[in-house]
Amino acid sequence: MEQVTQALVPLSDIVVPPPRPPEVYRTTVLDEEVSFLGLKALLGAADESKAGDRNAGLAAKSARHREAARTILSSLTLRHLHDNPLTDDEGNVDSVMRVNYAIDHALFAEIASMTVGGLKNRLLRAPGECARVGKALTGVMAAALAKICDVHELVFLARHISRPTKARTTLGLPGTLSSRLQPNHPTDDLRGITLLVYWGLSVGAGDALLGINPAIDTVENVSALLRHLDKLRRKTGVPSQICVLGHIKTQLACLSRGAPVEVLFQSLAGTEKTLTAEFDVTVELLDQGYRAMREQGALGAGARQFMYFETGQGSEFTYGKHHGIDMTTTEALCYGLARRYDPFMVNNVTGFIGPETHLDNFEMIVSNLQDHFMGKLLGLPMGMAPCFTLHSHITLEGQQMATQMLTTAGANYYMDVALNTDRMLAYFDTSGHDDQTLRELSGKRTTPEYEAWAIERGIFQRLPDGSVARGPSWGNPRMFLESDAELAGLVATTPALHGFETAGPRPADEVSRKVRLHQAVGREATQSELRLDELREVTAFRVITTEAPSKEAHLHSPHLGARVSPASRATLVPEHHQVQILVSDGLSAEAVHHNAGELLPVLEDGLRARGITMGEPLLAPNGRVKLAEDVAELVQCDLVICLIGERPGGDALASRSLSAYLVYHLRDDETRREAAASSGNPDARFEYTVISNIYAGGLPPIEAGGVIAEKVFEVLGRRAAGNRLEALLSSRG
C-alpha cells in the first residue's frame, strides 16, 4: 500500500486575522443587563460549571448568566469567531492558535455568515455534513458549538462522524470498538509487562495499540521496552502496533538508533506556553517528528497514519498558562493542533488531573462528551479514556456512565488498563473487561484484522449467524505460556492483579471486591496528614507552611500548595547551598511516613560522600511539586530534591508510593541559554528529572536514596536535568 501523508503548511503561511480589542457582549434577562468583556469571558461563562473554570474565575456566576452567555454565543457568526483570534497574556497569537487557522477557506466562505446556533441547527438536520463542515472550523468554533449543545446533541452529532485510520490495523470502522492495551508497570519490569500484555490479549484487547507509559523515560529504557513489545507482538502474532509513550525527543532518539518506533506519541496542550514550558515541545519539534516517522517509521509505507496524541481538559489551567481561556476551548485548540498531523489515534484523558479541574462525575462525563464531539468534528480519530483519581469525587460508576454514552456516540476505542487500575500512573481507567462488556451491549466488534487472529486462538468464536462472541480461551492468559510455573513467575512480578476469574465479560465478584477495597484504602490515604513529631525523629526538619490553609484547599486548589506562605517566606533566606531537600505530603502523607525513615539517611549520606552541600531539610504540609521552585528562589540553591507523596493508585500498598522530583535551578545566563535552545522555551528557569514509584512494591526506599544521590550528582555535574540531561548522557555513551 502506498503511504499517503499530508503536507505540513509552514506556520508563516497560515494567515490569522490581527487581534482586536476585547468587545463587550451584552444581553438583557428580564430587567437585568448581563455583559461579558471579551470573547474569552463569554466562552468561559457559556460552559457547564467545572472546577478548573471556577478556580480560574471563568465560570458563569449563575445559571441565568450561563444561559445568557449561551444565547449571545449562539447569535455570533462564524466569521466573528474567525476574525477575533484568542491571544496569550501578551496579546499575541501563539503557534497553537495559528495552526488552528489552517482550515479549508473555500468551505469556510460558504458558512462564514452562519451563526453558531444556525450551524447547530443545520448539522442536526443533516448530521452527515459534520465531517465536511469540520474542515472549515477552528478549535474555537468547535468549542462554541459544543457549549450550546445538550447531551443528546453531543451524542447524536458525534455518532454521525466516522474517522477511520490505518496502521497495521484499521481503527474506527463502523460497527467496531477497539482498545489500547496499556500494560504499565511501576518499575518497567519486563516480566510484569509480559503478563499484562498476555492478559489484555486474552480478553480481546489491544487491537488499537500495545502501548506502555514508561516509568523511566530514557533512550535506553524506552528502546528496551520497544524491543520487548515488538518481541511479544511477533511471538503472539497479534495484528496491532506498538508504542512506548516516552517524550517525543526520547522516541526520536530511539528511532535514530534503530528501535522499532511504529507509532510516535506526544501529549499536547492548547496554549504554546503550556506546550513549550511544561511539555518541552514546540510545533517545529512535532513537525520534525512527523517528517522523521514518514521517512523512517518502523511500519513503513503500509501505514496511512503513524502519530498518536494524548489530550485532556485542564492541563493549561493546572500550569497557570491558560491565558484566560476556559478548559473546553483550550482542549479544542489541542485538536486543531493534532489535526495538522493526521494522527492514527488521539486519546482523551479528561479526569486524569484531579479535582482541581473536574470535581465529580457530572463534570467528568459532560467534558468527555464535549471532547469526543469536538475532536471528531475537527477530523480526529477519537479514543476516549474517561478516568479518575482517588482524590477527586469521581467514581467507577461515573466512569461507566461516561463509556455507555460515549459508545453510543461512536468512540473509536477505550483503554485496557487491567482491572481499571494503572499500576504506574496511579489513576483509574477503563479495562479490557469494560471494552468487551460495551461491545456486547452495543453489538460492536474489534478491528477485522485482529478479529480473525483472535478467532484462530479461541479468544473469540464465530457463531452460525455470523456474529462473534467470546470463545473458550477468552480471559485466560495461560494460553500464551508454556507452563503453570511460567505463569506463576510472571504473576509474582506484577502488582494489583487480584485474580483472573471472570463472570461473563466481567471480573468475578470476588475479584471486583478486592479492587474496590484497595480503592477505598487509597481514597483514605489522600486525606491523611503528616505527623510532624514522627518525622522530626528521622532528621532535623525545618517546618514551613504553604498558602493552602487546609487539606481540602490543598486538594482542590493546587496553586495554593505551590507557594510558601507569607509567614514561612520571612524565615527562608538565601543560603547558597547546592541542594535543598524538601519533603511534602502531596497526595499521600502515608507515602512520606512509610519511606522517609529509610530513604533520607541514605540520601543525605550519599550527597555528603560526593561533597555536595545541602541546607537543613524542609518539611511542608499541604505542598505540591511546584513548591520546589518557590523554595529554590528563596534559599538560592542549585537544586531542590522534592520528596512528595504520589496520588494513590494500584493496590493498597501503592498508596504509600513516593516520588523524587529533582528541580534544577537555571541560575546563570549560559545555562539558561542552553536550556532555552534545547526546549524552545526562552523563559525556562527550571528543569525537572523525576524518579517515581518509591515504595516497597516498586523502587525500595533504601535503594532509592542511592539512586537519587547519583542522579543529583549527574544533574549538578552536567548542569542539566530532564530531557536535556538525558540527551547529554546519551551522547556521552
For residues 67 and 48, give the distance between their C-alpha atoms in angstroms, rounded to a whole number: 10
Do 154 and 124 fall into the same domain?
yes
Beta bridge partners of 360: 393
User: Which positions ≥6 away from 307 have C-beta within 8 Å?
Assistant: 263, 264, 265, 289, 290, 293, 341, 342, 343, 344
| pLDDT at residue 518 in the model | 93
Cβ-contact 444, 177 below 8 angstroms: yes
| pLDDT at residue 733 in the model | 55
Do 460 and 566 fall into the same domain?
no
Whichever domain contains 684, its CATH number is 3.40.50.11240
Do 299 and 182 fall into the same domain?
yes
For residues 374 and 533, give the distance between their C-alpha atoms in angstroms, rounded to a whole number: 51
For residue 95, what are the domain limits? 11-159
For residues 689 and 687, give the distance between their C-alpha atoms in angstroms, rounded to a whole number: 7
Amino acid at residue number 259:
A
Do 325 and 376 fall into the same domain?
yes
Roughly what angle, to the nearest 10 degrees, separates helices 219-236 and 190-202? 40
| pLDDT at residue 302 in the model | 82
| pLDDT at residue 1 in the model | 36
Do 256 and 373 fall into the same domain?
yes
Whichever domain contains 419, its CATH number is 3.20.20.70
Do 152 and 300 fall into the same domain?
no
Do 271 and 123 fall into the same domain?
no
Do 629 and 646 fall into the same domain?
yes
In a domain, 428, yes or no: yes
Do 136 and 231 fall into the same domain?
no
Cβ-contact 197, 432 below 8 angstroms: no
Cβ-contact 392, 52 below 8 angstroms: no
For residues 36 and 58, give the distance between their C-alpha atoms in angstroms, rounded to a whole number: 11
Do 647 and 583 fall into the same domain?
yes
User: Which positions ≥6 away from 506 have C-beta within 8 Å?
Assistant: 433, 437, 512
Q: How many domains does the chain have?
A: 3
Cβ-contact 151, 366 below 8 angstroms: yes
| pLDDT at residue 732 in the model | 66
Q: Which of 249, 45, 232 is closest to 722 using CA atoms?
A: 249
Amino acid at residue number 577:
H
Among candidate residues 125, 159, 193, the one where a domain is terminated:
159
- CB count within 10 Å of CB 29 equals 12
| pLDDT at residue 54 in the model | 97
For residues 618 and 452, give the distance between their C-alpha atoms in angstroms, rounded to a whole number: 59
Whichever domain contains 76, its CATH number is 1.10.220.70
In a domain, 4, yes or no: no
Beta bridge partners of 104: none
Residues of the chain whose pLDDT is less than 70? 1-5, 732-733
In a domain, 524, yes or no: no
Among candidate residues 465, 487, 519, the one where a domain is terminated:
519
| Exposure string for 626-641, b = 16+ CB within 10 A, e = fewer | bbbbbbbbbbbbbbbb
Do 42 and 117 fall into the same domain?
yes
In a domain, 575, yes or no: yes
Cβ-contact 500, 477 below 8 angstroms: yes
> By three-state DSSP, how is residue 267 classified?
strand
| pLDDT at residue 2 in the model | 43
In a domain, 419, yes or no: yes
Alpha-carbon torsion angle 207, 209, 215, 220, nearest 10: 130
- CB count within 10 Å of CB 136 equals 19
Among candidate residues 159, 175, 200, the one where a domain is terminated:
159
| Residue whose entry in the numeric block shows the C-alpha cell 510532624 | 532
Amino acid at residue number 399:
Q
In a domain, 23, yes or no: yes
| pLDDT at residue 4 in the model | 53
In a domain, 1, yes or no: no
In a domain, 527, yes or no: no
Do 178 and 127 fall into the same domain?
no
